[in-house]
Amino acid sequence: MIRFFKLFGRLGLWTALFALTVWGCAALWFDGPESRPLASLLALIYALSMLALPVLIHPMRRGVFASLILFAILLGWWLSIPPSNARYWLPNVANPPSARIQGDIVTIRNLRNFDYRSETDFSPHWETRTYDLSKLRGLDLYVIYWGSPSIAHTILSWQFDDGQHLAASIETRTETGESYSAVRGFFRQFELYYVLADERDVIGLRTNHRREDVYLYRLRTPPARARALLLDYLKTVNRLSSAPEWYNAFSHNCTTTIRLHAGNAMGAIPLDWRWLANGYLDTLLYEDGVINRTLPFAELKSLSYINPRAQTVPLDSHFSSAIRKGIPPRPAPPPK
């Protein structure tokens, strides 16, 4: 039995070292020197060193300790890589938004409201808009699929009783000639970017041009909490306009960041695997009563699918009201 536990312990140790080795090689490949031959050489040296040190240094625990020191040096370098706001950005993320807050009045600068002829053919329009927080009435969630049912993109949208909607999409800020990669998203390849936009832009782009599957859910969140959440978003928006941060596909993506903001604004949000496999986030919200529960979930989801409506109406100022026709109503807020 003792021999079994020793064998199991060594297997676990080598598995952990192998994982640290693979991650380090990937970090050197993606975030290391631009020269591919040099990056490959450094990754090879790192891998051989990580796996050889426990074998060559006796007793083995000293060799393992040496490998951990090597990993710590690599991790320290990786964490020190600075993000930047000064790159050759793609036009759709060229201008970081910012907000000025004066009492109930919020003025958004660099709100995106492009006119799209196709996903890549558009006329840029960066606008300045004013919103009255005293007229904030609700919060909606978009869940957007383009492939696997387990993975989605999520967008929050604040509704005001003067007919305005302010959508916020947490995305990667991509450079000219660069495209998003799920694998690269785990490394220091993309800066974090908050798109503040008119729904005809950020939603119409996905329903009418990318042809992604878009579902709209009206959330139970009362106006006071929706306001606190929006202000927490805007605090980050203003910070990013002068102090960029890295996007991370695991810890700082479109959905985990929503959870962080909600925790800041409303209190601790329980952990659940569906915050990561966010294609199932709507099932979590249904179970918690955050979205409408008067219907079976399958029927609710079917009614929340907006593509048929979005694709038959013009992308104009009436787009937001048109896509909400037939959507199940917002649940009543919880009792105070």
pLDDT in tens, 239-274: 999 999 999 998 889 999 999 999 999 888 899 999
Q: Using an 8 Å Cβ cutoff, are 195 and 93 in contact?
A: yes
Please state the φ and ψ torsions of residue 81, each to the nearest 5 degrees: -65, 120
Distance separating alpha carbons of residues 44 and 103, to the nearest angstrom: 57
What whole-number distance in Å separates Cα of residue 173 and Cα of residue 90? 8
Give 43-91 pLDDT, tens digit per residue: 999 999 999 999 899 888 899 999 999 999 999 999 999 999 999 999 9
Residue spans of beta strands (DSSP E) within the chain: 98-102, 105-112, 115-116, 122-123, 126-132, 136-145, 153-160, 165-173, 191-197, 213-218
Q: Where are the domains of the chain?
A: 2-79, 91-323
- Provide, for the chain, the percentages of residues in helix, strand and coil under a 3-state DSSP scheme, each rounded to the nearest 5: 45, 20, 35
| Whole-prediction pTM | 0.92
> Residue 336: its pLDDT value, please?
63
For the residues 124-140, what does the mean pLDDT come to?
97
Q: 12 falls in which pLDDT band (50, 70, 90)?
A: confident
Of the two residues 179 and 166, the one the predictor is more confident about is: 166
DSSP conformation letters of 151-211 = --EEEEEEEETTS-EEEEEEEEEPBTT----TTGGGTTT-EEEEEEE-HHHHTHIIIIIS-
pLDDT tens by residue, 192-204? 999 999 999 999 9
Write the burial class of residue 120 (CB in 10 Å: 0-12 exposed, 13-18 middle, 19+ buried): exposed
Q: Which two tokens stand for residue 169?
A: 């999409």
- What is the model's pLDDT at position 5? 54
The pLDDT of residue 324 is 96
Mean pLDDT of 4-29: 85
Cα(124)–Cα(195) distance, rounded to whole angstroms?
14
Confidence check: pLDDT of 300 > 60:
yes
Q: Please report how many Cα atoms fall inside a 13 Å half-sphere around the Cα of residue 238, on the Cβ side.
A: 12
Q: Which residues pair with 144 in a beta bridge?
A: 153, 214
**227 touches 269 (CB < 8 A):** no
Mean pLDDT of 17-31: 96
Exposure of 210 by Cβ count < 10 A (0-12 exposed, 13-18 middle, 19+ buried)?
A: middle
Instruction: State the pLDDT at residue 227.
Output: 97
Distance CA 238, CA 108 (A): 10
pLDDT at 311: 95
> Would you state the pLDDT for residue 13?
84
Say which residue the tokens 């020191």 belong to. Answer: 69
Averaged pLDDT score across all residues of the chain: 94
* 85/330 Cα distance (integer angstroms): 38
